[in-house]
Amino acid sequence: MSTFIAAFVVLLLFFVLMSIGYIIKRKAVAGSCGGLGALGIDKACDCDDPCDKRKARMAEEAERNEKLTKDRIL
């Protein structure tokens, strides 16, 4: 039980320190410097021919964008 309490206190301490750092710097926690772009991958799905789920999502997105541009007020 003491191990659990010690681990909880350490975790809580890290959260407090990260919170103080955010409050002082007003800068959000950033990700890594590379990601998929560093590996030469432009997108998460790097297939030549997308799967059916991906094609359906792309069609829905295109339809939504078309509706947004059609119904645009400004």
CA dist 40 and 3 (Å) reads 43
Cα distances (Å, whole numbers) of residue 59 to 37, 45, 48, 52, 65 = 25, 16, 17, 10, 10
9 Cβ neighbours under 8 A, 6+ residues apart: none
Q: What is the mean pLDDT of residues 37-41?
A: 67
Q: Is 70 exceeded by the pLDDT of residue 36?
A: no
Per-residue confidence (pLDDT) for residue 43, from 0 to 100: 63
CA dist 59 and 56 (Å) reads 5
29 Cβ neighbours under 8 A, 6+ residues apart: 18, 22
> 0.75 cut: is pTM over it?
no
Q: Kindly state the tokens that stand for 15.
A: 């959260």
Q: What is the mean pLDDT of residues 9-25?
A: 90
